Amino acid sequence: MVRILLNGAAGRMGRVVAELASQNPNTLVVAGVDAMAQGQDLGFPLFDSLEACTVQADVLVDFSRPAALKDILPYACEHMMPVVLATTGYTPGDLERIHRAATRIPVFRSANMSMGINLMIDLLKTCAGALGESCDIEIVEAHHRGKADAPSGTALLLADEINSVYQGGKEYTYGRHSKTDKRGPREIGIHAVRGGSVVGEHAVMFLMDNELVEVRHSAQSRSIFAVGALKAAEFIRDKAPGMYSMRELLAEQKEVTKVLAERGVAMVSLHGLSGWKQAVAALDSLAKARISVDMISQNGSELSFSVQSGDRERAVATLRPAFPECQVESAGKLAKLTVQGVGMEGQPGVAARVFGMLMGLGMEPKMVSTSVTEITLLVDEAQEYRATDALAKHFGIA
């Protein structure tokens, strides 16, 4: 069981966290800190400051305000206690202090503890990657009348994640009441609405000519943030010092989340190259012929790459006269399999399991490309369904 020291225990979120922790067999709030909780009975010892706390705990969870950071980090570092920061509105200086503390203790920080918001991020990055510069992006968020910071930390988180797809090339525009010029192509608009008892609404719009794609998340209860914080406390309890977020938490739960297949792929190989410069020249000749290359493998005098089946003959016809001293081979009727998952980054052995399964099915990949979160390979098109089905079932996503 994870023993939690809850900072901001008497606040709205603190009370929700404490209630849900008491219903969870893996977590328990053993003490709370809140200067405004004098004389209140929340079912556990209450202290008006961290320094006054005399109860031992495993993880410190903070649902209070940014100003509390000046007390939280020294206390957590002194007691070598992991900390979950579920508060938004930190300044750049605050963030520097958080990262310094993470060199000594494990720190879990997320602008939004909702599992749904963090899944939404993957959808937004997929949209941004697919639409590129052909769209205008606007973010609208709404919260209750008592929320102090605007825009919300979640809105900024969504903007930052989208902007990462554009290599940081977008600029944020906060409202347009003072704008007198037209919308610029590099803008991400961010707009805040405050009123009523709205828990949290976030909508991201990708606006194109004659089309609108909207991704929306609605928080209908504060309990979703409390559930996320408790999962974070369980996750970070035994971690090494460092910065952690929902990305790592979700990754640890499931290493592979997608198994994709694309048919109509061909492979072309060029044997006998004199070195890397010739390989670059070969790729350049394909580009001039407007032939798109996907996977690339270069090993000494051999260059292999994948193209769409319809470009196979043109690729061979382009390379043979340009490199008469080399042997050009091609293979068609292939399928590209892609195994994806952020959990692959922290789970060793995924690649071995993928290739072991394919070998067990009598399949030999034609080409392989890997990254920390993705494995891509080519197999015979006739084997694609069997391979995809077996991998999906093995990783529990069938």
| Catalytic residue set | 143, 147
Phi-psi region of 193 (alpha: psi -120 to 50; beta: other; left: phi over 0): beta
Structure tokens at 154: 């979640």
Token pair 């800190």: residue: 33
At 151, which amino acid appears?
Answer: P
DSSP annotation string for 272-329:
---SHHHHHHHHHHHHHTT-----EEEETTEEEEEEEGGGHHHHHHHHHHH-TTSEEE
Q: Which residues contact 194 (CB under 8 A, 6 or more apart)?
A: 142, 143, 144, 145, 147, 150
Phi-psi region of 396 (alpha: psi -120 to 50; beta: other; left: phi over 0): left
Beta 83-85 vs 59-62: how paired, if at all? Answer: parallel
Phi-psi region of 341 (alpha: psi -120 to 50; beta: other; left: phi over 0): left
CB 152 within 8 A of CB 141: yes
Eight-state DSSP code of residue 182: P
CA distance 150 to 146: 11
Say what angle helices 153-165 and 115-131 make with each other, to 10 degrees: 30
Beta 327-340 vs 374-380: how paired, if at all? Answer: antiparallel
- A 10 A CB-CB count for 80 gives 10
Any bridge partners for residue 324, and if so which? none
CA distance 236 to 202: 27
CA distance 74 to 49: 13
- A 10 A CB-CB count for 262 gives 16
